[in-house]
């Protein structure tokens, strides 16, 4: 089973069973954000976590094996057309250079790691309309001089 087939099997089982990402993450012993990413094919799980996800969703060993394989990350479109994902591109287009400038000012010449990263997504109740609260924390990696 490849990652695309795995993703489809997981999403179908999740919908059929009415299982939440929080419940899947609890079974895996990981955050909902990381577990969801792995189930969508963008990260991997170790054997114990993969087996727990498969048991919870009633799937077979081929899904567990696919969850354990390291992904090949790629994007099929330059800018995705899904409105939620597109807005992230819009935010980076508007604020990306600002973020870069502020990182350089506060840390020096380097980057924020997407490998050593944590993310938390929550609902923030607001009388003017609920808000999506996303906190991303990435390790700063300075460029080396030689």
Look up 87 and say whether it is catalytic. yes
Give the Å distances, CA to CA, from 51 to 24, 34, 58, 118. 11, 16, 10, 23
Secondary structure (DSSP) of 32-72: HHHHHHHHTTSS---HHHHHHHHHHHT--HHHHHHHHSPP-
Instruction: Select which of 90, 131, 133, 137 is catalytic.
Output: 90
Look up 105 and say whether it is catalytic. no
What is the rounded distance in angstroms from the CA atom of residue 66 to the CA atom of residue 126? 40
Look up 8 and say whether it is catalytic. no
What is the rounded distance in angstroms from the CA atom of residue 58 to the CA atom of residue 21? 15
Instruction: Select which of 87, 97, 101, 131 is catalytic.
Output: 87
Instruction: Select which of 113, 131, 133, 137 is catalytic.
Output: 113
What is the rounded distance in angstroms from the CA atom of residue 106 to the CA atom of residue 140? 10
Catalytic center residues: 87, 90, 113
């Amino acid at each position: 089973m490849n990652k695309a087939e795995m993703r489809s099997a997981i999403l179908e089982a999740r919908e059929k069973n009415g299982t939440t990402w929080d419940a899947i993450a609890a079974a895996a012993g990981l955050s909902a954000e990381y577990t969801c990413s792995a189930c969508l094919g963008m990260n991997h799980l170790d054997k114990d976590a993969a087996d727990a996800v498969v048991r919870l969703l009633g799937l077979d060993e081929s899904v567990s094996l696919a969850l354990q394989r390291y992904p090949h990350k790629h994007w099929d479109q330059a800018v995705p057309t899904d409105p939620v994902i597109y807005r992230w591109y819009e935010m980076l287009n508007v604020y990306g250079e600002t973020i870069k400038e502020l990182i350089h000012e506060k840390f020096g010449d380097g980057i924020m790691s997407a490998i050593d990263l944590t993310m938390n997504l929550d609902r923030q109740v607001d009388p003017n309309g609920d808000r999506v609260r996303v906190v991303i924390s990435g390790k700063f990696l300075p460029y080396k001089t030689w």
